[in-house]
Structure 1
Amino acid sequence: MEKYRSTADPSTGIHPFIPPTFHPFRPLLRPILTLLRLPFFIILFPPFLLLNSFLFLLPSLLSYPLRRILDKLFIPYILLSLSVIPTYPTIEQPRVRGAVRGKHPSRSDILLANSTSPIDILLLSFAYSPTFAVPSDTPSHVHPLTLSQALLQTCTTPSIPKSPPQTLKQLLRRNGPISILAEGCSTNGKGVLRFRFTPNPQSIPDNSVLYAAGISYTPRGAGCRTIQSMSSALLHAMGEWRISARIRLTAVPQDGAEHQACVATLAGVPPLKIDLESGRRFAQHWKDTASCKS
């Protein structure tokens, strides 16, 4: 822990990138649970990804409703094979005047979410089938992601996608709703990083509602593999006895002053004063340490 102090949050002392530790007796049960669940996952997940990638290429008039059907059919069973009970988000009291209480996001809306695990992506897809995106270095722009890219984004070294950046209006015209992984990289679930994306109210269509989405798990850190591969993250999730997921949403003002704090409150963790750059430094430290050990 000491050698990673430079990437810890200075205000709280939290290390948001250290892979979580697990109960010492779990290794005895983990291989059995993984072997029981793995066959179901292998049967469901590859064809689901293949079909989703194909549907993503279709015109939006066809793509979204067909992806919605596909997500509803496949994702509940994929989640069960990952020891996750499928759940719908809870809609909290809106924090913006004029928002309809209890209203779920529609095709024209935008979600700002934290990121800890590939399970996040599956849960949000089950609920809303959004197009996922990550912040761009160009202000008020995002990089759209396919489902496969979004899953990889949650458990690999932070990098800038190759897809060209787009404005929110451009992306909503084609593939709404949008779920922006606003931190730019994943954490171990102990805090929410400073957002790299702050929406410009002029860049958001008049008919769009902006939501903050906080995602948390019990046990804390289940499925979180901030440095390792997606296969490692998913296999780790299969080895859990049960993962309870909670997603809380609320409509927020388009002015981005409180977005990070709002997502952190919904996720039940503190907002941190570090960002994506700390994640990149941690990934390099981790890689260097692994090279020295080998």
Structure 2
Amino acid sequence: MEKYSKWRDPATGIQPFLPPVPPRTVSPIFIALLTPFSVFHSIARTILLAIVALVHIILVEGLCLIFIPLPPLYRAISSGITAFTCRTALCLMGYWWITTEMFSPKRGKTGVAQLSKIAPRKGDLIITNWTSYVDALYLAFRHNPTFLLPVFSSSSAHATPTTGRHTGTGSAAISTTLAQPPLLGYLPVSLPALIARTGSLADTYATPPKGMYKTLREARRKEGRPVVLFPEGTTSNGRAVLKFGEGTLAEGDVGGDDEGIVWIKFFKHSPPTPFAPSATCALPTPFKHLIFSTLYTPQPAPSRSLYVRTLHPSAAPSSPSFLPSEILINAPGGLDAAGKDHKAVWREACATVLAETGRVRRVKGMGWVEKKAFLEYWQRSGRR
């Protein structure tokens, strides 16, 4: 909509924060006739989903903790229960089948087929986009990882001018970006807490919070399972990759393969239809979205689609053949996109390959800081 044009990325024209709107091709009278049936089976699925969530919290966040002194046993039991509860929850939401694909720009090379059978394990890092609570449920079901979110300093910073070269527009015009708080580190978040904060902004603190990892390397060494990072810090509507927070994904965190494999995954949801609203949740209302968009459907057994695309490890940032300069040289803005900060080269390269894996574009002018202003305007103006 035009009143939200301020949050349209100038380089791509994409609005990454607006919820996708389904086409109005069905008669309102027909929808009204289906309403009683929709209410009935949606309430039934909501109750079943609440029971599954309660079982997960009691068993995984409660009883399983007695096995923590025995790490292998704890991981095995918690992983099994998590896989069952998360897959059941996805089925209740309509995800009967989830399509996955291993993408490789080096198809046909020797060893590619064998490497594709490797799954993320302890010491590995999974870098992914974030669009919905569905993404978290899938990752928990398949890998039972430790979820990490970047946290930033609450101290204010001055806005910095950038040119079109940095934004990828090719223009030399000067534009002013919002203040980018410096990174403090990475905070582990449990699955229930991550689902509850879907759509929320990245956290800021005056001092480093308890339990925070200062670097990803530290987190990968200390955690007994794979580590998942959402470098965008917040959710989008899935149309593009948001700008990564300043300081994330430094060279020491992702460069080299001595710490394990760095996996790149991209989640893509089907576009909304009159009977199935989009599963993407860009606004900080996950439970409202779950009940009124995901569970409230005319069909008693709805079918939704989720497409998970994974970059092959041979082309990932942990591969010895991965050179950030080669990645960026063909990207909009070239090496200038990283600016004068040499640590930003790896961050920009990771963002580029994430967008290429998902076959979407990047919105370099839109990140969690810009989303904060968007949410403030959204709340003031009311929904649409």
TM more than 0.5: yes
Instruction: Select which of 86, 91, 94 maps to 1:83.
Output: 94
1:271 match: secondary structure = strand
Give the percent of matched residue pairs that are identical in Structure 1 and Structure 2. Answer: 21
Alignment of 1:59-98 (within 5 A): 60-87=71-98, 89-93=100-104
Tell me the CA shift for residue 39 of structure 1: 3.0
Tell me the CA shift for residue 20 of structure 1: 1.7
Tell me the CA shift for residue 202 of structure 1: 2.4
Alignment correspondent of 2:308: 247
Matched, 1:125 2:140: yes
Alignment correspondent of 2:270: 218
Alignment correspondent of 2:260: 208
Alignment of 1:241-280 (within 5 A): 241-250=302-311, 251=313, 252-254=316-318, 255-273=346-364, 274-280=366-372
Tell me the CA shift for residue 62 of structure 1: 4.4
* Distance verdict in 2 for CA 1:11–1:4, change over 3 Å: same
Alignment correspondent of 1:227: 283
Higher-Rg member (1/2): 2
Alignment correspondent of 2:232: 183
2:240 match: secondary structure = coil
Tell me the CA shift for residue 86 of structure 1: 4.6
Counterpart contact for 2:99–2:306, Cα < 8 Å: no
1:136 match: secondary structure = strand
Structure 2: gaps (5+ residues): 153-181, 319-345
**CA deviation vs aligned residue, 1:173-202 (integer Å, no higher than 9, x gap):** 234311101101001111110122642332
Work out the CA distance in 1 between the residues paired with 2:244 and 2:201.
17
Q: TM-score, normalised by structure 1?
A: 0.86
**CA deviation vs aligned residue, 1:26-65 (integer Å, no higher than 9, x gap):** 9555545523422321221222134332347935544432
Alignment correspondent of 1:101: 115
Q: Which moved more, 1:183-192 or 1:169-178?
A: 169-178
* Distance verdict in 2 for CA 1:65–1:140, change over 3 Å: farther
Work out the CA distance in 2 between the residues paired with 1:203 and 1:212.
14
Structure 1: gaps (5+ residues): none
Matched, 1:3 2:64: no
Alignment correspondent of 2:56: 48
Alignment correspondent of 2:379: 287
Counterpart contact for 2:123–2:224, Cα < 8 Å: no
Instruction: Select which of 169, 190, 206 maps to 1:146.
Output: 190
Q: TM-score, normalised by structure 2?
A: 0.67
- Give me the CA root mean square deviation: 3.0
Work out the CA distance in 1 between the residues paired with 2:348 and 2:237.
24
